[in-house]
Structure 1
Amino acid sequence: MAQPKKHALIVRGGWSGHAPVEATALFIPFLEEHGYDVAVSDELEVYADTDVMARTDLILQCWTTGSLTPEQLLGLRTAVESGAGFAGWHGGIVDAFRATPEYLHITGGQFAAHPCDIHEYPIDLVPARTEHEIVRGLPETFTVEDEQYWVLSDPGNDVLATTTIPARDGDRWPGPVTVPAIWTRGWGSGRIFVCTPGHHLPTLERPEIRTVVERGLLWASR
């Protein structure tokens, strides 16, 4: 007897510089191959649709900046607390809805800066977490060519990988700063997955990042 399909909801929009349509389209075939019925919304109002949110097992969000209404926040929060997974990368998840502290509390992190523009930098797996299913088998250190996000983060996160931002001549911070680059967390009955690399398509198409995102989507899902 065939297993019932799971339901994934992709919510995409906001600042166009992160190519939300093209970036999320990379992962639709993957989700369909893994048995998901995929719905796409280019409007945040979907979060206030109680019927849609109640049947959603995974929310993939790529929405940079913007704002949530109280009804949209309530719908998103209720879905996650009830067991829906919430996942995303880069500004689409940690540079969204800056004026909504409850949203930031759910994600466990907030973009603060990227001191350099796009450049090559290392991602380091946390030694104690290398066997986590999202990063298992990946090199302990690998490089990406992307914006290097400095994030403010919650101590409740399960950090799987970090990145270290150097202090260059003229920078105001006194030394290198290590921040989370990939993390998970629980929220109510839901799971949250965040990957900070992902400014543009070449990063998301890089094998290590694509693997992390695909595994993270499945891990987060109800």
Structure 2
Amino acid sequence: MSRKALIAWGGWEGHTPERSAKIIRDMLERNGFAVTLGEGTGMFADPNLASFDLIVPVITMSTIEKAELNNLTQAVRLGTGLSGFHGTMGDSFRTEPDYQFMTGGQWVAHPGNIIDYHVVITRPDDPVTKGVSDFAYRSEQYYMHVDPGNEVLATTTFTDAHFPGIDGVVMPVVWKRRYGAGKVFYSSLGHTADEFAVPEMALITERGLLWAARD
């Protein structure tokens, strides 16, 4: 029987949520998932949400009803996987600490906006990053508030070229964690759907999706 995934997209168009959600849909379908794709946080109100093996929020700079959030966090606590990227999971609901506790972090700044920076693989032995070398990247370099309990797989180092006082700050880029019985994966790469053309980014994202899904 195919594993089931739910993808919900919405929010600010600058993060290309609909296009990005369809790329994720195609990734999962290639890997044998039966995918439910829809718009808005109402997708999280499904009373059978915990029956999905993976949930991928592609919702950015938005709000969520308390009942929807409670249903989502409960599903993940019970074992449904959660996986996402950039602002479509790391800046979805700024006023919801329960959501941020589940995801393991929250975007707070991207000094310089679109810039060139490097991603350093810190766990080359992990199945998500195995065989991926450090790589150059051009996008928003995400400065985040992060949970110290995250298992960090890749980092980036800031300079003070765009904001004083942060030179040398090492910031997680890719992590995984547990939330109750559920597995959670996050990558801060992926400002727009065009970035899936970067092979390292696409591979890490795809592997992260598969890792997070319920076994």
Task: Give the structure-1-normalised TM-score.
Answer: 0.93
Q: Would you identify which runs of 4 or more consecutive aligned residues in structure 1 move more than 4 Å?
A: none
- Aligned partner of 2:154 in structure 1 is 161
- Aligned partner of 1:65 in structure 2 is 61
Structure 2 residues without counterparts, runs of 5 or longer: none
Shift of 1:122: 0.3
By how many angstroms is 1:175 displaced? Answer: 2.6
Q: 1:209 deviation in Å?
A: 0.3
**Which residue does the alignment assign to 1:177?**
169
State the identity %. Answer: 36
For 2:18 and 2:184, locate their aligned partners in 1 and report how far apart those are by CA, in whole Å: 21
Deviations 1:91-138 (A, max 9, x none): 001111110111110011110100012122100011xx2110000000
Flag structure 1 segments of 5+ consecutive residues without an equivalent: none
RMSD between aligned alpha carbons?
1.2
Match of 1:121 in 2: 117
CA distance in 2, matches of 1:79, 1:204: 28
- In the alignment, what sits opposite 1:204? 196
**How far apart are residue 168 of structure 1 and its match?**
2.2
Q: CA deviation at 1:174?
A: 5.2
Of 19, 25, 28, 1:28 maps to 25
- Deviation per CA, 1:35-78, whole angstroms, max 9, x where unpaired? 11100120211212112x03211011111111121101111011
Q: Is the 8 A contact 1:144 1:203 kept in 2?
A: no
Equivalenced residue count is 214
The C-alpha deviation readout for 1:158-193, integer Å capped at 9, x for no partner, is 000001110127x33153211100000000110111
1:136 aligned partner, one-letter code: K
Instruction: Select 2:85's aligned residue among 84, 89, 99.
Output: 89
Question: SS at the partner of 1:27?
Answer: helix
Shift of 1:205: 1.7
Task: Give the TM-score normalised by the residue count of structure 2.
Answer: 0.96
- Native 8 Å contact 1:60 1:86 kept in 2: yes
Matching residue of 2:205 = 213
The amino acid that maps onto 1:146 is: S
Aligned twin of 2:44: 47
